[in-house]
Amino acid sequence: MKKITFIIIILLLLAFFYRYPKETIRVNNEDRVYSPAYGKIMSIKLRKDNTLYIAIFLSPLDIHYQFFPVSGKVKNIIYDHTGKFELAYELNKSNDNEKCIHTITNKHGDFVVYQIAGFLVRRITYYDKIGKDYESGEKLGLIHFGSRVDIIIPNADKFKLQVKEGDRVNGSESLLGTY
C-alpha cells in the first residue's frame, strides 16, 4: 500500500509540473513584447549594444512551457549540448549551462530567447522551426524542471519597459513592454 501511495504522489507531482496553462494569449503585433515564461524576473540590464537583457527564473512550482514573446520569423535555433547544469538562479554560473537559443526577427530587430537548463534538468524541448512565422503567445518549448529563460530585446532606446526586477510574470499574459 505504501508503494502505491508513493507512486501516486510522484505521478501527481509530475502532472502538476507538466501542466499547461489554461489559456495563452496570442497576439499578432510586432510592437508588443510579452514574457516568454512563467516565473520571477531576476535581472534587467541595459547593455552597451542598445539591447535590454531580462532573466526570468522558473521555480519547480512554475509552469515550464515557454511562449513566443513577439510576433516574427524564427531566424536561427542553436542547441548547446556542451553546457553544464549549475543552479539556474545563479546568473554568473548558469550562463554556461546547457541551453537552446532562439533568434526571432521582426521590424524591430532580432529578439533572442534562451531556454537555460537548471541543476536538475537534463533536457530542453523546442517546437519552433527556422524560417517559420509565429505570433506572440504561441508555444515555443519546454524546459524540464527548474530552469531559467532569458530574453534580449533590441533597440532598447525605443522600448518602453513595463516590468521591474522581482516582478512575477505569467507567460503571454504578462506584457514586458512596447515599442
The residues assigned a catalytic role are 147
CB 116 within 8 A of CB 150: yes
Among 57, 56, 98, CA closest to 79: 98
Distance CA 121, CA 25 (A): 27
Q: Could you tell me the CA-to-CA distances from 164 to 53, 56, 152, 161 in Å, in that order?
A: 12, 11, 15, 8
